[in-house]
A and B are shown apart, each in its own frame.
Chain A
Amino acid sequence: MNSMNNVTTIKELVTKKITVLKEEVIDQYQVSFEVKKDDVHHLLSVLKQAGWRQLSYLSAVDWIEDNEFELVYIVFNWEKPVHIQIRCRIDRNAPTMDTILPIYPGAKYYEREAHEFFGIAFPGNDSHEKQLILENWDDIPPLRKDFDPKAYSDARFPKREYSNDHVEMNGQKESKQAKREERRTHILDLIKGGKK
């Protein structure tokens, strides 16, 4: 009951400050808000002031059919345990989003990772363009939906030829089974006292 109150308080707090495009209550511990790109920083600082001091997750989703990226910020408050998802859509052709480092210093590496895997620029975060996980990557950012790992590996790595000598059981090549058969007839012959 208490935690459902938390959700109501959050809804009041958020809708009073900014315009919410879409809101959804997932359960008593989680609520999500879709907002405009320009409102994200304001909303995050309001929430941090209200006790949502921990940035749990930051990433993006590629909606290629709408030609948009969706940024996801998840913040958490340990005193009123509710995860708040804040989502905003940004343009896919020139994806930029101002950094949230002044509000949540822990976002540094999340933004760097989002840049590496989606190609979203975070002006204000000096290190966002540095290489983090992918070494010498030479293709489009890999978590975009139009990146195809199979095509990438076909183009980059030589096709492997598999030899199939292990399946030649009854072919011209001498196999283990033929050897075994031969030994068996030999032994049977020996029991009978050798070949007649």
Chain B
Amino acid sequence: MRKLKLFLGPQHPGMHGNAAIHMYVEGDIIKKSYLLPGMLHRGFEKGMERHSFVNNISLIPRVCVVEPDINELAFAMAVEKLADLKVPERAEWIRMIIMELARISIHLMAYGGLGGPTGNYTLMYHAHADRNTILGFFERITGHRVYHQYIVPGGVRKDLPNDGIEADILDFLTDLENRYDEYRDLGIENPTLLARIKDTILLPEEVVWELGVTGIGMRSAVNKPYDIRKKMPYCKYDEVEFNVPVSNYSDARSRVDLKLKEVVQSIRIIRQCIDKMPEGKVRVPIAQGQSMRWTVPKGHVYSVVESSRGEFGYYMVSNGGTHPYRVGVRGASYPQGLLGIEKYMPGTRIDDAALWVDTMGVCSPEIDR
């Protein structure tokens, strides 16, 4: 049979972000594939070394386009660990609200993104409409829709606005919860979609350990609640109640299923946050004096956050100066995005390649950074 080379991306409805997958196919079976990153490389790690800790606040959200808040929190936590700083309590709760709203919005976007490669556009429109509402909340809280620059070292940039935003968020969450079954019917209970996602793109437990996949991919395969929020709680995750959905059989459907179940848990967390949030200060300076001359003590730290795709970390080295000496970003989709595509995508069909990328949660900006 004739061997062909095909490209998925960088411009393709099923490809997320600017990266290309080179596939060698025979018939419609992929025989060899690899990811070609680098189209979005903007030299962030070098850029962070060349900006002060405060200047970096405007740079870090841009590392991951659709989910910027994890970057802000991981960066802020790294600086706080180095400076041995205690964040005001209200700021911790606000951070959690932001993180969980972001998690809902990214899960909805990924769920809606399933509509692209499978031709189910109703799902995509519904999910994006809801994501848009969440972006509206972000705009009211932070002033920005996508890159918020809101979580800063030492707290959050400003307090929640005094215009009843809490009540509006709660209304929206109730509304979303009421439409949960509808969402399931549109997507993963829908027979046309089920035929595409059930029992395809398997991720066995050995592969998880071999590649180092984290997040939903890992939890769907190993059947254990391996979630950073539970295992090493940051912010106030140890003071709220939530479950970590797991499964012991990881196909495309079960991973999408876990995403939807996580949305329900995030809704639970936000309700508790709004309920328990105390009044008070929301920001402390990380050092004395003028902000452009703030210095951070020497040290090497690695701070992690549970993102929608898994363990997302910042490795930060400070030399005791105003600028970080080295910042390294551990993208959550690095293992499955590079080694996973090279090793485990061969064998699937061409039309499943886009679903592979979508359900494994590959985000190209955090591979390039």
**In the complex, A143→B300 CA distance in Å?**
17
- The reply to whether B311 and A56 contact each other, CB–CB distance below 8 Å, is yes
**What is the chain B residue whose CB lies nearest that of A77?**
B231
Q: Report whether B302 and A30 are in contact in the complex, using a CB–CB cutoff of 8 Å.
A: yes
A116 — nearest CB in chain B belongs to which residue? B38
C-alpha gap A142/B326 in the complex (Å) = 13
For B325, the chain A residues whose CB sits under 8 A away are 61
Q: How many whole Å from B205's CB to the nearest CB in chain A?
A: 11
Indicate whether A54 reaches chain B with its CB closer than 8 angstroms: yes
B301 partner, pick from A30, A108, A134, A142, beta carbons under 8 A: A30
* Contacts A133-B41, A135-B38, A142-B46 given; does A56 touch B330 at CB 8 Å: yes
The 9 A-B pairs with the shortest beta carbon distances in the complex, nearest first, are A106-B212, A133-B38, A81-B231, A109-B338, A29-B232, A57-B330, A59-B328, A78-B226, A81-B232
Contact B81 A83 (CB under 8 A): no
Measured CA separation A55–B339 after assembly (Å): 13
Residue of B nearest to A63 (CB): B325
Asked if B45 lies at the interface with its beta carbon under 8 angstroms from chain A, I say yes
**Which of A57, A105, A134 contacts B328 (CB under 8 A)?**
A57
Q: What is the minimal beta-carbon distance from A139 to any residue of chain B, in angstroms?
A: 12
How far is A30 from B304 in the complex, measured between Cα atoms in Å? 11
Residue of A nearest to B211 (CB): A106
Expressed in whole angstroms, the Cα–Cα distance for A173 and B318 within the complex equals 53
Task: Tell yes or no: A99 within 8 A of B by CB.
Answer: no
Interface pair B38/A106, CB less than 8 Å apart: no
- Taking the complex as formed, is A43 at the interface, i.e. its CB lies under 8 A from any CB of chain B? no
Q: Complex: how many Å from CA A15 to CA B338?
A: 35
Residues of A within 8 A of B313 (CB): 56-57, 74
Beta-carbon nearest neighbor of A135 in chain B: B38
With A81-B232, A108-B339, A133-B41 as given contacts, are A76 and B315 in contact (CB-CB < 8 Å)? no
**Interchain CA distance A133-B40 in the complex, whole Å:** 9
**Contact mask for chain A residues 35-66; partner B; CB cutoff 8 A; 1 contact, 0 none:** 00000000000000000011111010110000
When distances are taken between beta carbons in the complex, the residues of chain A under 8 Å from B212 are: 54-56, 104, 106
How many Å from the CB of B348 to the closest CB on chain A?
20
The reply to whether the CB of A91 lies closer than 8 angstroms to some CB of chain B is no
Shortest C-beta distance, A57 to chain B (Å), equals 4
Determine if B46 and A143 form an interchain contact, defined as CB atoms under 8 angstroms apart.
yes
Q: Check if B232 sits within 8 Å of A57, measured CB to CB.
A: no
Indicate if B125 sits at the interface (CB-CB under 8 A): no
Question: For B7, what are the chain A residues with a Cβ–Cβ distance below 8 Å?
Answer: none
Total residues of chain A contacting the partner, CB 8 A: 38
Distance (Å) between the CB of B352 and the closest chain A CB? Answer: 23
Give the chain A neighbours of B43 by CB distance below 8 A: 142, 149
Within 8 A of B (CB), among A160-195: none
Among candidates B41, B311, B334, residue contacting A109 with C-beta atoms closer than 8 Å: B334
Query: Does B144 touch A at the CB level, under 8 Å?
Result: no
Chain B 207-226, CB within 8 Å of chain A: the 1/0 string?
Answer: 00111101000000000101
B residues within 8 A CB of A26? Answer: 81, 299, 301
Scan residues 329-355 of chain B and give those whose CB is less than 8 A from a CB of chain A.
Answer: 330, 334-335, 338-339
Contacts of A78 in B (CB 8 A): 224, 226, 231
A90 neighbours in B (Cβ, 8 Å): none
A30: chain B residues at CB < 8 Å are 301-302
**Given the complex of chains A and B, what is the CA–CA distance between A56 and B326 in angstroms?**
17
- B37 CB–A CB distance under 8 Å: yes
A76 in contact with B300 given A109-B338, A133-B38, A135-B38 (CB within 8 Å): no
Asked whether A96 is an interface residue with its Cβ less than 8 Å from the other chain, the reply is no
Say yes or no: B45 contacts A143, CB within 8 Å. Answer: yes
Say yes or no: is A128 at the interface (Cβ < 8 Å to chain B). no
Residues of chain A with a CB closer than 8 A to B366's CB: none
In the bound complex, CA of A109 to CA of B334 (Å): 9
Are B302 and A83 in contact, with the CB atoms below 8 A? yes
Residues of B close to A56: CB separation below 8 A? 212, 302, 304, 311, 313, 330
